[in-house]
Amino acid sequence: MKNSRTKGLISLLIAIAAVAVFGILGYTTMDDIKLGLDLAGGVSITYQAVEENPSAEDMSDTVYKLQQRVQNYSTEAEVYREGSNRINIDIPGVSDANQILEELGKPGSLVFSDQEGHTILTGVDVISAQAGIYRDSTTGLDEYVVSLTFNDAGSQAFAEATRENIGNPIYIIYDNQVVSSPIVNTEITQGSCQITGLDSYETAENLASTIRIGSLSLELEELRSNVVGAKLGQDAITSSLLAGAVGFAIVAVFMIAVYLVPGLAAAIALCLYVGLILILLSAFEITLTLPGVAGIILSIGMAVDANVIIFTRIKEEIGVGKTVKSAIKTGFQKALSAIIDGNVTTIIAAAVLYWRGSGTVKGFASTLALGIILSMFTALFVTRFILNALYNLGLDKPKMYGVKKERTPINFLGKRNICFAISLAVIIAGFVGMGINKVNTGDMFNYSLDFQGGTSTSVTFNEDLTLDQISTEVVPVVEGVTGDADIQTQKVAGTNEVIIKTRTLSADEREALDQALIDNFGVEQEQITAESISGAVSAEMKRDAVAATAIATVFMLVYIWFRFKDIRFAASAVLALVHDVLVVTACYALLRWSVGSTYIACILTIVGYSINATIVIFDRIRENLKTRGSQSLEFVINNSITQTFTRSLNTSLTTFIMVFVLYVMGVSSIREFAMPLMVGIVCGAYSSVCLTGAMWYLMETRLKKSKKPEISSKKGKAASKSKKKELA
């Protein structure tokens, strides 16, 4: 016993030391974390089209291509139109505009020409240009290449040119200068090719970047560049950090109060988790924005969830008479499948969202994936290590771990028709609300600046206002004129200029705003200018977000089908996700919540959160079906939901607490984001408990016409196993 206590004490001291070290490192790296425009500001560059009257199509195409390009600097970079012929680029986390301009390059003309000077195609025909490395199988040396892809017109023109110029160079000319002249090896008909023979990866990347910047639909020239302050201001950062700390403390106290010794182990492990995630955010140079904060909140919720699943299992094992030591071991073993399945489905979603998404979606996916992987590690390994240390210290009495006895199953299935009716009524009300909004305002939703654009007013004040002064003195004056709280402000560093973005203002409203600024702050009329701006979230980005979410849902469906060997489990889970999205969207329509980039992050958070809760219930149904004996299917489902009900309630409550504190203590822009999240958390818990089991039951009994489904126990088989530049 003495040796065990010594071992436990040493283990606990190691765990506490790790928490302290990683906590200190996490605190010191806070300054190293890249923050987005909304939290820290960055560089703003404005380009103007050389062409006098560019078409709307060319402007839109150029904006989208620039959006793809500037994501090399940050996934949270924003590109939007200003006026009829200007494009504004906001890149967070940087402060040197000249460096960005130099690296981004001057967007100019690009042509591909033969040796007689005939133009083969232009940059408009280039879809993509990417640098790459491959290992030559003959020499064993690395080869550096640039891979090009052309559109249909470019593919046809390039095929003809390469057929006629085998053995001759194709000149790539940017702003009247030859940047590369690879030799044609063979006719290229597939619409793609590689430029080989480059001497380094840096050379390949520079060439690819030059081709990309020259493939814009329009030639651009720099109009101005400056450093801008945070959109949300320091108040948002400070209040969010404080809210996170308070929320985390409440969750820690809740875990200890409900789960006793295991709760203490979880609280210590979660402290380590927070320190680690701060360090990794800095190490991976992930840009943190408000949607990114949502990803972290979700991952903390899922870290708590994994611990709750384990602790519930430990209580159950103690309840059937096992010793505490045996219960801890068995509890972790039985919880493993539900934890892995729930987290893997969310990681799949994050991976697809990062792959197919852009901007806000990609930033959200990065923080979510990092948080989920880390939370799974801390729950399965760190919590177990600390729990065993506490046990070896002498905290080994069953009452210190709690005992969960069998409960009479609640008849959830008996209430399924009522639940279906409630859900259907809310969803229908949402569609009705969208229709009414469309008739009254012309839009189904209250779209924010991010989605529909508005008016950008630049004001040079007589004094250098702080961000706090802007938010407390200037914003209320602007809101008094516009009657709308959706206002974004940015301060141009080193000047007295402030950029105020509002909904689209009429001529009368612009005049009223100018007069209000003059009356309240004494600015000169000539120091106020206004331009119309497009939404920072373009139509293409919206389509990317929808496509990414759809593909992620399909991948999750396939994974659940594979793991549970039953398409009905997968279909029920996906239907529950659709339900949650529709209900939250209905609230956006009925309550006129602002729909912007945070709406995308909110929906993605709900999708990731809800699927995890559903997986836990389905895992228990699958387990109980294997030993059902003569029990009816209704009993098995009701019993499974009852057994996991406490877990569902506690997990939802802890995550809700985190978001609720953020809502209470945050600034208005934070509250605008937190409210829909709270609705989504409640809705996700409701659908997992009240709908998913009922939907699976209906599919099982009515579609298959079978009373006893067969659960396959077969395991899947393990998986077996410097040179001349050329065009190819």
pLDDT of residue 720: 40
Nearest-angstrom CA–CA distance, 693 and 573:
9
- Residue 721, domain member (yes or no): no
pLDDT of residue 711: 44
* pTM recorded for the entire structure: 0.69
Amino acid at 641: I
pLDDT of residue 101: 62
Last residue of a domain, one of 228, 258, 292: 228
CA dihedral 426, 651, 616, 294 (to 10 degrees): 70
Phi, psi for residue 595 in degrees, rounded to 5:
-100, 110
DSSP of 86-111: EEEEEEET---HHHHHHHH-----EE
Residues 671 and 585 in one domain: yes
What CATH number is attached to the domain comprising 689? Answer: 1.20.1640.10
Name the H helices within 467-596: 467-469, 475-482, 507-521, 539-564, 567-590
pLDDT of residue 718: 42
The least confident of 72-81, 124-133, 290-299, 608-617 is 290-299
Please check the confidence at residue 106 and state whether its pLDDT lies above 70. no
- Residue 257, domain member (yes or no): yes
- Residue 444, domain member (yes or no): no
Q: Do 120 and 224 contact (CB within 8 A), yes or no? A: no
Over residues 328-354, the pLDDT tens digits come to 999 999 888 888 888 888 888 778 777
Q: Do 373 and 380 contact (CB within 8 A), yes or no? A: no
- Residue 358, domain member (yes or no): yes
- Residue 711, domain member (yes or no): no
Over residues 172-191, the pLDDT tens digits come to 998 778 989 999 998 998 88
Q: Residues with Cβ < 8 Å from 42, sequence gap 6 or more?
A: 36, 74, 90, 91, 92, 93, 94, 95, 227, 228
- Residue 436, domain member (yes or no): no
Q: Which domain holds residue 467?
A: 454-533
Residues 281 and 363 in one domain: yes
Residues 520 and 617 in one domain: no
Phi, psi for residue 182 in degrees, rounded to 5:
-70, 150
pLDDT of residue 115: 86
What CATH number is attached to the domain comprising 498? Answer: 3.30.70.3400
* Angstrom distances, CA of residue 72 to CA of 104, 257, 411, 587: 10, 46, 53, 35
Give the residue among 75, 60, 62 at the shortest CA–CA distance from 107. 62
What CATH number is attached to the domain comprising 174? Answer: 3.30.1360.200
Residues 260 and 381 in one domain: yes
Residues 344 and 243 in one domain: yes
Nearest-angstrom CA–CA distance, 638 and 306:
22
Nearest-angstrom CA–CA distance, 666 and 139:
60
Residues 647 and 662 in one domain: yes
Please check the confidence at residue 447 and state whether its pLDDT lies above 90. no
Residues 179 and 272 in one domain: no
Q: Coil, strand or helix: which one is 131?
A: strand
Mean pLDDT of 98-119: 74
- The neighbouring-strand residues paired with 87 are 47, 81
Radius of gyration of the chain (CA): 29
Last residue of a domain, one of 503, 533, 563: 533
**For 335, how many CA atoms within 13 A lie in the half-sphere containing its CB?**
28
Provide the 10 A C-beta neighbour count for residue 667. Answer: 16
Q: Which residues of 509-545 are buried (b: 16+ CB within 10 A; e: fewer)?
A: bbeebbeebeeebebeeebbebeebbbbbbebbeebb
Residues 262 and 340 in one domain: yes
Over residues 395-429, the pLDDT tens digits come to 888 889 887 777 889 999 999 999 999 999 999 99
Residues 374 and 523 in one domain: no
Mean pLDDT of 57-77: 74
Provide the 10 A C-beta neighbour count for residue 270. Answer: 24
Confidence of residue 16 (pLDDT cuts 50, 70, 90): low
Residues 600 and 624 in one domain: yes
Provide the 10 A C-beta neighbour count for residue 421. Answer: 10
What letter does residue 286 receive in the DSSP assignment? P
If one counts the domains in the chain, the total is 5
Q: Residues with Cβ < 8 Å from 718, sequence gap 6 or more?
A: none
Please check the confidence at residue 31 and state whether its pLDDT lies above 80. no
Residues 277 and 359 in one domain: yes
Please check the confidence at residue 433 and state whether its pLDDT lies above 90. yes
Last residue of a domain, one of 479, 513, 533: 533
Chain position carrying tokens 């209900």: 583
- Residue 418, domain member (yes or no): yes
Nearest-angstrom CA–CA distance, 721 and 240:
48
Residues 501 and 563 in one domain: no
DSSP of 563-593: HHT-HHHHHHHHHHHHHHHHHHHHHHHHTT-
Q: Which residue has the higher pLDDT, 346 or 668?
A: 346
- Residue 640, domain member (yes or no): yes
As a whole-number percent, the residues of the chain with pLDDT over 70 amount to 80
Please check the confidence at residue 699 and state whether its pLDDT lies above 80. yes
Phi, psi for residue 72 in degrees, rounded to 5:
-65, -25
